[in-house]
Structure 1
Amino acid sequence: MEDWNQKFELPLRFKQEKVIRWEECIPSTINENHVDLWRGCPDYLPSHEFVTAIREVIRNGNVALHQYTKGSGHPRLLAVLAKLYSHLLHRDINPLDNILVCFDIYGLMTNVILSNVTNGDEVIIVQPSSDFYEYIVRMAGGISKFVPLRLKQNITTPSSSSDWKLDDLELEKVFNSKTKLIILSTPNYHVGKVYTIDELEKICSLCKKWNVVCVSDESEEFLAYNPEQFTRIASLPEMWQRTITIGSFDSTFFLKGWKIAWAYGPCNLLKNLETVHFNTVLTCPTPVQEAIASVFEKKYENMDKNKMVFADTINSLKLKKQLMFDTLREVGLNPVKSESGIFIIADVSSLERSINYEENNNFVEWLAKKAHVQAVPLCIFYQEEYKSNVTHLVRFCFNRKEDTLRLARDRLQECFNGH
C-alpha cells in the first residue's frame, strides 16, 4: 500500500524554497518590549467614522445586509467606486462591467495571475515587491522575470525616493513574445517612490510593443504626499484596454483586518478575474462593504473641497513622517524623503562601520537587541542577485501613535549615543 505521507504530500505546484507572507512571521528577536516599526499595521484604533459606519450596519434592520451580496461586489460599494474612478480617470467606469471587489491585494493578485497565466507564460515583477507574486506565478505554471528599482547612477545615499529608478536597458531586456504581464506597485509602498509620467510611459510603450497587460498595484494611490504628481497608468494613452488596476481600502486607511480591495479595468480582462473569483471566493462580506461604501460616499462629497480624495489621512501622516525622519537623521542615519506611503528608508552604512555585531548577523538584528526597536532590511524584498545593492538600507514604519514614535526616538538616541 502507498505510504500515507507520500500520498498526501503537498502538491509540487505549492512547494517553495522559502517562506512567503513575511509579515506573518514574527522575527525571533521581537517581544512585547520592542517598538514595532517593521509592519504596516498601526497601533491605534480606526477613526470614529469607520467605527460608526460598521456599527450602523450592524444595527440596520435590513436583513439583506447580513446575507450574500453580489459576487463582483456589493452594489452600493461598486456604485461609489465607479463614480470615484470615473472622476479620477475622466472616463465612464461601469460598476457592473469594470470593477471587481475581492479579499485584499493578495486575493486580487491571485485572481489576476491565475486568470491570465498558464504554462510557460512570463511575468515581469518590478522589485522591491512581495515574494507572494512569484509564488502565485509559479503555481500557475508561469515564469517570473525580475527587474529592480536601483538608485540613480552616482547616488550612493539617496535624498528622495525619486532617486530610485528602473534601468531602461534592463527593463527592455525582460520583455519578449512570451511576456504576459508586468506587475508593479505605483506608488511603490516599500520605498515610497511615485513614478513620473516619463517613467510610466516607458513601461507603457513596452507593453504596447509586446502586447503585455500591466498590472498596476495602486493600493497606496491616496497616500502620495503630492497627489498632483501621481499618475494612474490606466489614464495614459491606449493603456485603459491593457491595464488591470488594483486599489485597496485596507492600505488607504490601515484597516488590514477589513480585507477589502478592488480591481478595475476593461470588461474582457475583468471577466477573466471574475471567473476565478466566482469559483473560489464567490463573494466578500456584505456588512464590511456596506460600511466602506457609506464612508466613501461622504468622502466623495467633500473631495473637491479638499483637493484630495482623503486629505485627512495624508495630513495625519505628514506629522508622523517628519518625526520619524528627524529621529533617524538625529541619530546619525541617512533617511530618504518618502514621496508616499508609511515607510522611510534609511542608509545605515555610516553607522555600520562602528558597530560590533558580535553574535548578531546584521544591523536589524543588532538594533532589535540593543535598542529594542524592530525594523526591516530592504533586501528581503529583492531577489538574491540584487540584494547586495541594498544591504545597507533599512525600512522603518511611521504610522504609529506619536507616543510610540517618541519612545522609538528615545531608544534610538540612547543606543547611538557616542556613535
Structure 2
Amino acid sequence: MTTTVPPAAHLPRGAARLNGLPAGSLAQLLHLGREWGALDLAGGVPGAPRPPRAALDAAVRQLREGDQQYEDTNGNAELRAQLAQRLPYPVDPRTELTITTGASEALSVAMLATVDPGDEVVLLEPFYENFLAALALAGGVPRFVKLRAPDWRWDPQELAAAFGPRTRAVVINSPANPTGRTLTRQELEELAGLCEKWNVSVISDEVYAPFVYDGVRHVSAAQVPGLRERSIVIGSLSKAHALSGWRIGHLHAGERITERLRAVHLATSFSASGPLQRAVAASGILQDAAWNPAAELEVLRDRTVAMFTAAGLPCRAPEGGCYVMADISRITDEDCETFVRELAARRRVLVVPGRCFFRDHTADSGHVRIAFNKSHEVLAEGERRLADGL
C-alpha cells in the first residue's frame, strides 16, 4: 500500500511565528563541511577543554546503578548549591537558580517568560542566531543595535535610540559569540541606566564567562546595580566543561522572576536529564578550584590567530569566548560566503561566513568566524592545510 503525500497547498497552515525563525544556515554549513571532508574550525563543539574524567566516571556509575529517573523540575538541589558557590555574587540556590535543558532552553524560557507578542527586544548585532529564534517563538519584535568592528562597541546614541515604551527586554552576550567582545562594567552601567529608565529586563547570556584572557575580568549583569534586580543570567556546562551533549544549562534571577521562569520551564521540558545532573553533583567537578579552562583556551586562541595570520589573514585576538571574528575585506574582494566555500574547496578548512550573525543573510559582512576551542591536533592539521596560504 502506498501513501500519497498531499501538496503543500493542501496541508493545514503552519504557525506564523515560523516565518521569523533564522534559516539555520550555520547548521547547514556544518553538514556540507562534513560532506566536503573539511577540517571543522566553524562549529563551537568543544575539542578543548577535555571533559573532566570525574564527571564521565560518575555518569557511568549513576547509570549502571539504575539511576534512570526524573529530577526535581527546578534542578538537583546539590547541583544548584554547587553552582551557586561558583557564581561571583550571592545566590539562593533554592529560590533563584533553575537547571535547564542546556542554555538553548534557558534562552527560550527567559524569552517566553518575559516577552509578549509585539513587545520589542533590543539585540546587539552581530548576534548568536538562537537569540533571533527565541525572540521569534515568543512573538517579539527585534530592535537591532550595530556593533562596530574592530572593537565591536556600540554607539551610545544608537543604543539609547533603540529603547522606547514598547521595549520589554535587551539581550546581551558577554563574552560574545561571534566576536569575543567582553562588556566592561562601564558599558553595563550605561545599559543599566537605559533599563531603569524604560523598566526593561536584561537577558544576559554568560555561557562563555569562564573564558576571558589577557587579564580581562568578566563582569556579570547580576553584579551591576540597576541590572541585578532585573537580570536573567544564562549559564551552561556545555563549553566550560565540554559537556555539550549533556544539555545542562542554568538560569539565575531574583526570586519573583525565577517563579515565572520555572513556570515556563515546567511547561516545556519539565526537567533536564536527572542522571546526568546527579552525576555532575556527585563528581565534584564544580568544586575543583584547579579547573581553569581559560589558560588552555588562551594558548589555543593565540595559536589560531598565528595560524591564520601566517596564512595571510591577520586576526584580532578576542578578549573572551572561543571564536575569532576576522575581517577578510583586506585580503579579498569576494563576499564572505564565497570566501568560505573556496577555502573549504581549496584547503579543506571550514570557517563560518559572518553573514550568519547578521539580520540580513543576503548581505556581505566582510567577516568570517573561526572557532579555536579545538584540540592541538586539530590546529596542527589546520596549520598543515594552510601552510601554502589562504
Determine whether 1:264 maps to 2:264.
no
- Give yes or no for contact 1:191–1:344 (8 Å, CA) kept in 2: yes
Aligned position for 1:22: 26
Counterpart of 1:183 in structure 2: which amino acid? Answer: V
Counterpart of 1:400 in structure 2: which amino acid? Answer: K
Measured at CA, do residues 340 and 387 of structure 1 come closer, stay the same or move farther in structure 2, by a change above 3 Å? farther
Partner of 1:250, secondary structure, is coil
Matches within 5 A, 1:27-42: 28=32, 30-31=34-35, 33-42=37-46
Task: Write the deviation string for residues 205-248 of structure 1: whole angstroms up to 9, x where unpaired.
Answer: 10011100111000111111256521111111132210000011
2:239 pairs, out of 251, 255, 261, with 251
Counterpart of 2:348 in structure 1: which amino acid? Answer: H
Mapped partners of 1:3, 1:33: distance in 2: 36
Task: Write the deviation string for residues 299-351 of structure 1: whole angstroms up to 9, x where unpaired.
Answer: 43x43xx5xxx41x122222222211111111121111111121122222332
1:48 pairs, out of 48, 53, 58, with 53
TM-score, with length taken from structure 2:
0.91
Aligned position for 1:173: 161
Identity %: 25
Matches within 5 A, 1:16-415: 16=20, 18-20=22-24, 22-23=26-27, 26=30, 28=32, 30-31=34-35, 33-43=37-47, 46-60=51-65, 65-85=67-87, 88-89=88-89, 91=90, 93-151=91-149, 158=150, 163-226=151-214, 229-295=217-283, 297-300=284-287, 302-303=288-289, 306=290, 310-311=291-292, 313-353=293-333, 362-384=338-360, 388=364, 391-415=365-389
Mapped partners of 2:230, 2:33: distance in 1: 44
RMSD after superposition: 2.5
Mapped partners of 2:362, 2:212: distance in 1: 27
Mapped partners of 1:207, 1:177: distance in 2: 11
Measured at CA, do residues 141 and 322 of structure 1 come closer, stay the same or move farther in structure 2, by a change above 3 Å? closer
Mapped partners of 1:129, 1:265: distance in 2: 22
Task: Write the deviation string for residues 157-208 of structure 1: whole angstroms up to 9, x where unpaired.
Answer: x4xxxx2201101100010111111001011121111111111111111001
Mapped partners of 2:28, 2:238: distance in 1: 16
Q: CA deviation at 1:361?
A: 5.8
- Give yes or no for contact 1:108–1:263 (8 Å, CA) kept in 2: yes
Matches within 5 A, 1:2-21: 6=10, 8-16=12-20, 18-20=22-24
Measured at CA, do residues 362 and 4 of structure 1 come closer, stay the same or move farther in structure 2, by a change above 3 Å? closer
- Give yes or no for contact 1:74–1:290 (8 Å, CA) kept in 2: yes
Q: CA deviation at 1:280?
A: 1.8
Measured at CA, do residues 185 and 21 of structure 1 come closer, stay the same or move farther in structure 2, by a change above 3 Å? farther
Measured at CA, do residues 210 and 100 of structure 1 come closer, stay the same or move farther in structure 2, by a change above 3 Å? same
Mapped partners of 2:25, 2:281: distance in 1: 29
Measured at CA, do residues 17 and 408 of structure 1 come closer, stay the same or move farther in structure 2, by a change above 3 Å? same
Q: Figure out how many residues of one structure are paired with residues of the other and give that number.
A: 384
Aligned position for 1:154: none
- Give yes or no for contact 2:52–2:285 (8 Å, CA) kept in 1: no
Of residues 188-197 and 213-222 in structure 1, the stretch that sits farther from structure 2 once superposed is: 188-197
Partner of 1:350, secondary structure, is coil
Q: Which runs of 5+ in 2 are unaligned?
A: 1-5
Q: CA deviation at 1:282?
A: 0.8
Measured at CA, do residues 21 and 29 of structure 1 come closer, stay the same or move farther in structure 2, by a change above 3 Å? closer
Q: Which runs of 5+ in 1 are unaligned?
A: 152-157
Q: CA deviation at 1:132?
A: 2.7
- Give yes or no for contact 1:125–1:146 (8 Å, CA) kept in 2: yes
- Give yes or no for contact 1:380–1:387 (8 Å, CA) kept in 2: no
Partner of 1:76, secondary structure, is helix
TM-score, with length taken from structure 1:
0.85
